[in-house]
Structure 1
Amino acid sequence: MSLITLKDLSLARSAPLFAGLDLAIAKGDRLGLVAANGRGKSSLLRILAGTEEASGGTLTRSRGLVTAFAPQDPPERLLPMSLYDAVLDALDAEAAETESWRVDVLLDDLMVEESLHGRAVGSLSGGWQRTMLLARAAVIEPDLLLLDEPTNHLDLERIGLLERFLAALPRDCAVVAASHDRAFLDDVSTRTLFLRPAESADFALPYSRALQALEERDAARGRQFENEMRKVRALRQQAAKLKNIGINSGSDLLVVKTKQLSERADKLEEQAKPGHKERSAGAIRLASSGTHAKALVSIKETPIATPDGRLLFRTGPLWIEKGDRIALLGANGSGKTRFVARLQAALDGSDPEIRGTATLKAGYSDQGLSQLDAWRTPWDAVKNSSDLGDQTARTVLAGAGISSEAQTAPTARLSGGQRARLAMLLLRLIEPNFYLLDEPTNHLDIEGQDMLESELIKQETACLLVSHDRAFVRAVATRIWVINGRKLVEVDDPDPVFDRLMAG
């Protein structure tokens, strides 16, 4: 029995986001929802939750269906509330009065420290806000749980906890999760919906296998379209020849046959469907200034400490060579971001323990993309970070997915995906030969992640990256550094580290 059935559902904004969507969600389904930034995932979740209307089509709910939605960010009205009260607020008045114990049990299951229960939601980190939103959704014991980018801002320990929490839900509870985290989708989904403007594709497979099936289907349709268009061209060539013969001979029969061939060609062309071509949300391109130096950065045995002097860990003697792509892994709070900040600050030559070669040119992007806050608009950012002419600046911004209207609008109005692409564009313009990237995939859709992966590999540029994105680390990293206890060590394989961190 279906919990929700969609028939011919469509949604349009300035352009169609999706149309002709047929989908049935059954008890116990684990559906991964995949699309590029700004292509309707969040809107579809809100439609399923009943807080937004579709442009067309029908949506049928089973009688008594209880649906819960965990959005990407907390509603403004929750920000002054304590974490505990924000979760309690999801219950109706009677349940909140008599069953508040459900909140205590749930927060314990989600390993929320008691010291956080009284903290205002607005003062919490993004990760704890995500946990609160999940708890709000789960506390009403829904039949259908809707999650919008549930792993954003979570470290690997919290992602592991989330996966175990979802696995422990009642068997009848269905989950729909919109996510750009490919490893998470592989771990939790049994179905995958690729949301498209037309002909969205639903496969009863987890993400990676579903993507392979989708690519095979798209390739087959592309070949079929080319075959059909070859037939169209052949029919039209035959019609043109018969037309000339008919005109010269005065044969009415040949004129009729010419018309029939042309009509067959028109009908075949009308029915032919080209292979799907995804409209890009914006390109990511990197550049490197190059260097002849082999060792770009050398690090002596160095203590990494908190601002108040508390030791986090020590490095051994380390080096970063041209072409090294190093992933720095460790538990939340172990000192990864502090190490990156120390490294960035040291590369001006003032740190005796961390030295860069004379030709080193570093480019840095932090996980909050705070470097963009220095610029009022994307136009200001590009013009002040380069010597590009006006037309070229417009072109590169448009190529990064920032429309002409958005180029001169406040940078704060950009979506997360647009901000991430703008940050990568600014890095490209300074042409570094060493990239320092702290959670670079946080706001990128899967297309953007793929582009960033291929660019880092293609440019053969050295980089040190901090990331909880397991698929990204596996694809990019050539070396793995791990903060283990109070020491930084190098390992060959990231997967045992991922397993240990996710186990908590």
Structure 2
Amino acid sequence: MSLITLKDLSLARSAPLFSGLDLAIAKGDRLGLVAANGRGKSSLLRILAGPEEATGGTVTRARGLVTAFAPQDPPERLLPMSLYDAVLDALDSEAAETESWRVDVLLDDLMVEESLRSRAVGSLSGGWQRTMLLARAAVVEPDLLLLDEPTNHLDLARIGVLERFLAALPRDCAVVAASHDRAFLDDVSTRTLFLRPAASADFALPYSRALQALEERDAAQGRQFENDMRKVRALRQQAAKLKNIGINSGSDLLVVKTKQLSERADRLEESVRPAHRERSAGAIRLANSGSHAKALVAIKDTMIATPDGRPLFRSGQLWIENGDRIALLGANGAGKTRFVTRLRAALGGGDPEIRAAASLKAGVSDQALSQLDGWPTPWAAVKGSSDAGDQLARTLLAGAGIASEAQSAPISRFSGGQKARLAMLLLRLAEPNFYLLDEPTNHLDIEGQDMLERELVAHGAACLLVSHDRAFVRAVATRVWVIEGRRLVEVDDPDPVFDRLMAG
């Protein structure tokens, strides 16, 4: 029996986000929801949850269905509440009065420290806010649990907690998770819905296998499209010949026949155009200005410490050479951010234990996308970061997915995905030969992650990256550094490290 059924569902904003969507979610389903940024994933979750209406189609819910939705960000009214009270607030007044123990049990299951439970939601990190929103959704014991980007801002240990929590849910509880985290989707999903403006695709497979099936289907449709387009071209050629004959002979019948052939060609072309040909959310391009130096960065055996001087780990003697793509892994609090901060400061000179080659030109992107700070608009950012002329600046921004009408809009209004693509464009314009990237995939959709991976590999630029994105690290890293036991060590394979970090 289906918990919820969608029939011919459509949603349009300024353009169609999806249409003709048929979907049935049954007890126990684990559905991964995949689409580019801004293509309707969050809206579909809100339609499933109830507060948002579709443009067309029907939604049929099972009688008595209990649905719970964990959005990406907490509602403003929850920010002054303690984490504990924000979760308790999800219960009705009677349950909150008599069954508050459910909150305690749930927060224990999610490994929320006692010291965090009394803190105001607004003072918590993004990761702990996500945990609170998950707890609010789960505490009502739903039949259908809806999660919007649940791994954003979580480190690997917290992702491990999340995956174990989902695996331990009652067998008949269905979960729909919209996510750009490919490894997470592979771990938790048994079905995948690729949401598209038309002809959305639903496969009874986890993400990676579903993607392969989708690509095979798209390739087959592409071949069929080419065959059909040959028929369209033949019809148009016949129409053109008849038109010339009709004009020369003055035959009204041939003129009518010409019009019929042209209309038939138009209908055929419209009907066969592939639904999977989607407009990209914007390209990501990088650059590598190159360097003749063999070692771009040389690090002596140095102590990395907290701002107040507490030792975290020793680095050992290290080098970063041309073409190295190094992933830095470690538990939360091990010192990854302090190491990156120290390295970033040292690139400008003045640190006797970390030396950069004279030819090194750094491009830096942190979790907060600080390269956007100080620029009011995308136009100002590109013009202020390069000597690009007006036409080239417009072209660059359009290529990054920022339409002309948005190029002079405040950056503060942009989505996380738009900001991430603009930040990558500014990195490219800096023409670095060494990239220092802290969680670069945080706001990128899967298309953007794939582009960034290809660019880093294709250009051969050296980089040091900190990331909790397991698929990204596997695809990009040529070397892996791990902070373990107050030492920085190099390992050959990141997967055992991922396993240890996720096990907590």
Which position in structure 2 is the counterpart of 1:62? 62
Does 2:190 correspond to 1:181? Answer: no
Does 2:317 correspond to 1:317? Answer: yes
Which sits farther off after the overlay, 246-255 or 61-70? 246-255
Q: Once the two structures are superposed, what CA deviation does each residue of 1:9-64 show, in whole Å capped at 9, x if it has no partner? A: 11111111111111111110100000111111101111111111111111111100
Cα–Cα, structure 1 residues 142 and 380, in superposed 2: closer, same or farther, change >3 Å?
Answer: same
Which position in structure 2 is the counterpart of 1:217? 217
Output the CA distance in 1 between the equivalents of 2:253 and 2:390.
62
Pairwise mapping of residues 70-219 of structure 1 onto structure 2 (< 5 A)? 70-219=70-219
Q: Once the two structures are superposed, what CA deviation does each residue of 1:126-173 show, in whole Å capped at 9, x if it has no partner? A: 010000000000000000000000000000010011001000000100
Which position in structure 1 is the counterpart of 2:431? 431
* Secondary structure, aligned partner of 1:86: helix
Pairwise mapping of residues 402-481 of structure 1 onto structure 2 (< 5 A)? 402-481=402-481
Cα–Cα, structure 1 residues 96 and 232, in superposed 2: closer, same or farther, change >3 Å?
Answer: same
Structure 1 residue 261 displacement after superposition:
6.6
Which position in structure 2 is the counterpart of 1:375? 375
Output the CA distance in 1 between the equivalents of 2:159 and 2:266.
54
Pairwise mapping of residues 254-269 of structure 1 onto structure 2 (< 5 A)? 265=265, 268-269=268-269
Output the CA distance in 1 between the equivalents of 2:152 and 2:371.
20
Asked whether the 8 Å contact 2:371–2:426 carries over to 1, the reply is: no
Asked whether the 8 Å contact 2:377–2:407 carries over to 1, the reply is: yes
Q: Which amino acid aligns with 1:61?
A: R
Which position in structure 2 is the counterpart of 1:343? 343
Asked whether the 8 Å contact 2:6–2:24 carries over to 1, the reply is: yes
RMSD of the TM alignment (CA)?
2.0
Asked whether the 8 Å contact 1:143–1:174 carries over to 2, the reply is: yes
Output the CA distance in 2 between the equivalents of 1:55 and 1:95.
36
Q: Which amino acid aligns with 2:124?
A: L
Identity %: 88
Output the CA distance in 2 between the equivalents of 1:126 and 1:378.
25
Which sits farther off after the overlay, 341-350 or 258-267? 258-267
Q: Which amino acid aligns with 1:371?
A: Q
Output the CA distance in 2 between the equivalents of 1:391 and 1:241.
42
Which position in structure 1 is the counterpart of 2:53? 53
Q: Which amino acid aligns with 1:291?
A: S
Output the CA distance in 2 between the equivalents of 1:222 and 1:346.
51
Cα–Cα, structure 1 residues 26 and 428, in superposed 2: closer, same or farther, change >3 Å?
Answer: same
Q: Which amino acid aligns with 1:489?
A: V
Q: Which amino acid aligns with 2:380?
A: D
Cα–Cα, structure 1 residues 98 and 275, in superposed 2: closer, same or farther, change >3 Å?
Answer: closer
Does 2:221 correspond to 1:226? Answer: no
Pairwise mapping of residues 234-383 of structure 1 onto structure 2 (< 5 A)? 234-237=234-237, 265=265, 268-274=268-274, 276-383=276-383
Structure 1 residue 272 displacement after superposition:
2.4
Cα–Cα, structure 1 residues 167 and 50, in superposed 2: closer, same or farther, change >3 Å?
Answer: same
Asked whether the 8 Å contact 1:298–1:318 carries over to 2, the reply is: yes
Output the CA distance in 1 between the equivalents of 2:256 and 2:373.
70
Structure 1 residue 258 displacement after superposition:
7.7
Output the CA distance in 2 between the equivalents of 1:256 and 1:125.
69
Structure 1 residue 259 displacement after superposition:
8.3
Q: Which amino acid aligns with 1:182?
A: R
Q: Which amino acid aligns with 2:446?
A: I
Q: Which amino acid aligns with 2:373?
A: D
Asked whether the 8 Å contact 1:400–1:425 carries over to 2, the reply is: yes
* Secondary structure, aligned partner of 2:152: coil
Q: Which amino acid aligns with 1:293?
A: A
Does 2:498 correspond to 1:498? Answer: yes
Which sits farther off after the overlay, 270-279 or 56-65? 270-279
TM-score (norm 2): 0.96
Asked whether the 8 Å contact 2:192–2:203 carries over to 1, the reply is: yes
* Secondary structure, aligned partner of 1:334: coil
* Secondary structure, aligned partner of 1:329: strand
* Secondary structure, aligned partner of 2:202: strand
Which sits farther off after the overlay, 406-415 or 124-133? 406-415
TM-score (norm 1): 0.96
Cα–Cα, structure 1 residues 68 and 247, in superposed 2: closer, same or farther, change >3 Å?
Answer: closer
Output the CA distance in 1 between the equivalents of 2:386 and 2:316.
38
Structure 1 residue 269 displacement after superposition:
3.7
Which position in structure 2 is the counterpart of 1:6? 6
Structure 1 residue 4 displacement after superposition:
0.7
Q: Which runs of 5+ in 2 are unaligned?
A: none
* Secondary structure, aligned partner of 2:146: strand
* Secondary structure, aligned partner of 1:440: coil
Cα–Cα, structure 1 residues 269 and 344, in superposed 2: closer, same or farther, change >3 Å?
Answer: closer
Q: Which amino acid aligns with 1:353?
A: E
* Secondary structure, aligned partner of 1:176: strand
Output the CA distance in 2 between the equivalents of 1:443 and 1:432.
22
Cα–Cα, structure 1 residues 358 and 257, in superposed 2: closer, same or farther, change >3 Å?
Answer: closer
Asked whether the 8 Å contact 1:373–1:411 carries over to 2, the reply is: no
Structure 1 residue 403 displacement after superposition:
2.4
Cα–Cα, structure 1 residues 289 and 7, in superposed 2: closer, same or farther, change >3 Å?
Answer: same
Output the CA distance in 2 between the equivalents of 1:396 and 1:244.
45
Asked whether the 8 Å contact 2:198–2:276 carries over to 1, the reply is: no
Which sits farther off after the overlay, 374-383 or 217-226? 374-383
Cα–Cα, structure 1 residues 410 and 271, in superposed 2: closer, same or farther, change >3 Å?
Answer: closer
Structure 1 residue 240 displacement after superposition:
5.7
How many residue pairs get matched?
504
Q: Once the two structures are superposed, what CA deviation does each residue of 1:363-389 show, in whole Å capped at 9, x if it has no partner? A: 111112133222222222222211122
Structure 1 residue 270 displacement after superposition:
4.7
Q: Which amino acid aligns with 1:444?
A: L
